[in-house]
Amino acid sequence: PASFCDSNNCKRIAPKNFTIHGLWPDKEGTVLQKCKPKPNYVNFKDKMLNDLDKNWIQLKFDEDYGRDKQPLWVYQYLKHGSCCQKMYNQNTYFSLALRLKDRFDLLRTLEMHKIFPGSSYTFQEIFDAVKTATQMDPDLKCTKGAPELYEIGICFTKKADALIPCRPSNTCDRTGNIFFR
């Protein structure tokens, strides 16, 4: 979240730990988007709303607006969740994303490997540290311009019952240092 907020106008304070960006289905290496039929999104309330607001925080919106209108979750569900309709309804889609996130504490994993926010590390150091937790190749994404860790992708099978190696997005320089904000 810190690197996201550095390059975006966040309305909320970025949490220290990693949050969810999205749960994206793909087919043979192509991310699926905006599948038909277009699903109806129903606003969350109660515990699910609180869990999403903590783990899939809508940083670009102030808290009241985000919780009321839920723009990020609507966007993610219509764009990507629509392609999971045969397997998951809306509640199951978001519950699955929360459960998958809870399987890994990426900040703690990095810290256990002496990788701390505020310093720079090689691509391989970050990659190898994450791989100790997932046992599979993660997808590290960096910001354009100044090399900064922006996102860590973890990939799962279609049923989300096992991890698989991620295809690299190749947004990070594999030879220089990457700043971990």
* Residues acting as catalytic residues: 21, 76, 80
Q: Hey, what amino acid is at 45?
A: K
Burial of 138 (0-12, 13-18, 19+ CB in 10 A): buried
Other CB atoms within 10 A of residue 87 CB? 13
**DSSP letters of 59-78?**
TTS-HHHHHHH-HHHHHHHH
* Helix, strand, coil percentages in the chain from 3-state DSSP, rounded to 5: 40, 15, 50
